[in-house]
């Protein structure tokens, strides 16, 4: 008489669930599909917002929808410099050809800086030719850190504002005082409130 073999239960090896990497965007909405690179850049700017107190947000169109091609940003003045205490707002303006065409950086038209003319920042990081160093691989978070640095270390080879230039070389005390007073105008709380109203 044949005896039936007893079947042993199958024991499966425990495998812990895979961790989800939330640091990478997974899906794209219709807005995000318009320029995926810009969406990815905005996503990675969260790190400098947290680590460097730098703001980068989408502005709103007249109908209230997000404007992917115009960002409202702000960088803090470096401690120990005449720029300290201020939180300086500006806009990054992109075209649909980004990243092959660099963005433009626009401050307030009356912003006082050696490398700013009528609000527009002149920087090698914002152009490809003419001594520029911009490339399509440059991350926006890196660009924002460069803009923060340009505030307190202007490029003396690209002096665009003749009034600021004359003060810088001829009446440095007055130049210094104007920068200090400007920092007082850009109070962090006031600037952040303005950004909250403008951002999507």
Distances (CA, A) of 28 to 1, 93, 140, 159, 182: 67, 22, 19, 42, 40
Give the DSSP letter of residue 100: T
Which residue, 134, 153, 48, 144, is CA-closest to 89? 144
* Contact partners, residue 144, CB within 8 Å, separation at least 6: 45, 48, 54, 56, 73, 75
Concerning whether 122 is annotated as a catalytic residue, the answer is yes
Q: What angle do CA 154, 156, 162 make, to 5 degrees?
A: 95
Contact 92, 73 (CB under 8 A): yes
Q: What gap in Å lies between CA 112 and CA 114, rounded to an integer?
A: 7
Please tell me which residue in 45, 73, 105, 122 is annotated as part of the active site: 122
Residues with a known catalytic role: 122
């Amino acid at each position: 008489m044949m005896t039936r073999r007893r079947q042993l239960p199958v024991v499966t090896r425990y495998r812990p669930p895979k961790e989800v990497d939330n640091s990478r965007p997974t899906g794209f909405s219709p807005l995000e599909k318009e320029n995926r690179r810009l969406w990815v850049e905005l996503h990675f700017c969260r790190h400098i917002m947290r680590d460097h107190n730098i703001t980068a947000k989408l502005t709103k169109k007249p109908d209230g929808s997000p404007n992917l091609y115009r960002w409202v940003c702000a960088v803090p003045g470096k401690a120990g410099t005449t720029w300290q205490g201020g939180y300086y707002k500006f806009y990054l303006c992109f075209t649909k050809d980004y990243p092959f065409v660099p963005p433009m950086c626009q401050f307030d038209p009356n912003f006082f800086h050696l490398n700013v003319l009528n609000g527009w920042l002149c920087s090698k990081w914002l152009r490809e030719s003419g001594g520029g160093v911009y490339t399509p691989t440059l991350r926006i978070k890196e660009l924002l850190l460069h803009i923060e640095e340009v505030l307190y270390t202007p490029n003396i080879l690209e002096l665009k504002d003749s009034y600021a230039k004359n003060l810088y070389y001829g009446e440095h005390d007055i130049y210094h005082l104007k920068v200090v007073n400007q920092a007082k105008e850009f109070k962090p709380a006031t600037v952040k409130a303005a950004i909250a109203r403008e951002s999507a």
